[in-house]
A and B are shown apart, each in its own frame.
Chain A
Amino acid sequence: NAGVTQTPKFRILKIGQSMTLQCTQDMNHNYMYWYRQDPGMGLKLIYYSVGAGITDKGEVPNGYNVSRSTTEDFPLRLELAAPSQTSVYFCASSYSTAGSGNTIYFGEGSWLTVV
C-alpha cells in the first residue's frame, strides 16, 4: 500500500509554462483533494473531487484545472505559470461516508518554483 503518491517532488517552471502535477492513491478512496501551502502558512484548498467524473472548486482555484477520470488518479494542471503559484502542493485523499470521520491522508508534497 503506497498511499498517496505525487510526482514530481521538485520542479522549477518559467513564467508562462504549463505543467501537470500527478497524484494517485491506491486506497480506493472516494474523495481526493489538492491543497497548496505557501511558506509559513496553512493549507488552502484548490480543487476537490467526490468521485470519478466529479470535481469542484475550492478556495483558490484560479490558474488551475483538474480532472478525475478514474478513482485512483487526480492530476492538477497549471496553465500559464505565475510567480504567485510558487508553493508546496499536497494531494490528499479520504474515504468518507455519512456518519463516519474523514481522515485525510496526504501525499509527500510537490515543491514548485516559478521564476
Chain B
Amino acid sequence: GENVEQHPSTLSVQEGDSAVIKCTYSDSASNYFPWYKQELGKRPQLIIDIRSNVGEKKDQRIAVTLNKTAKHFSLHITETQPEDSAVYFCAASEVDTGRRALTFGSGTRLQVQP
C-alpha cells in the first residue's frame, strides 16, 4: 500500500517568513495530493490540492509543487501569519480507480512567532 513520509515534524518561523513542508510517497499510482490544516481540537480542513498532471498550484499565499519522478511534493506558505499556526498534513491517493482513501503523513506542527 501507499506510504507517505512528511518532514519536518515541527517548524518554527518568524511572522512574515516563508515555510516549506515536504512529503514523499511510495506508490507511483497515486495521482492526487491534498494538504490539510488542523487547528487544535478541530477537524482537518483542506487548504490546497494538486493532481499529478499539474506540477504546481497556487492559491494566494500557499502553493504546492509536485515532482512525480522523485515522488515528492511540497507545501509552501509565504508571508506567514500567526493564524497559520496549526498542524499540516499531506496526503496521497489514487482517485481514478480503487478505494481512493487518503494515506496521510504524520503531520508538521507549524508555529509562527509574532
Contact = CB atoms under 8 A, between A and B. Distances in A.
Interface string B1-45: 100001000000000000000000000000010100000001111
| A interface secondary structure, majority | loop
A27 interface: no
A42 B97 contact: no
Contact of B107 (A42, A50, A59, A100): A42
A48 B99 contact: yes
B104 A31 contact: no
Interface in B57-95: 89, 93, 95
Interface residues of A, number: 28
A74 interface: no
Q: Which 10 A-B pairs have the closest CB atoms?
A: A106-B43, A42-B104, A102-B95, A42-B106, A43-B104, A98-B96, A48-B101, A96-B100, A102-B100, A45-B101
25 contacts: A31-B101, A33-B102, A35-B104, A41-B106, A42-B89, A42-B105, A42-B106, A43-B44, A43-B102, A45-B103, A59-B103, A94-B100, A98-B95, A98-B97, A101-B32, A101-B49, A102-B32, A102-B34, A102-B93, A102-B95, A102-B100, A103-B46, A104-B46, A107-B43, A109-B42
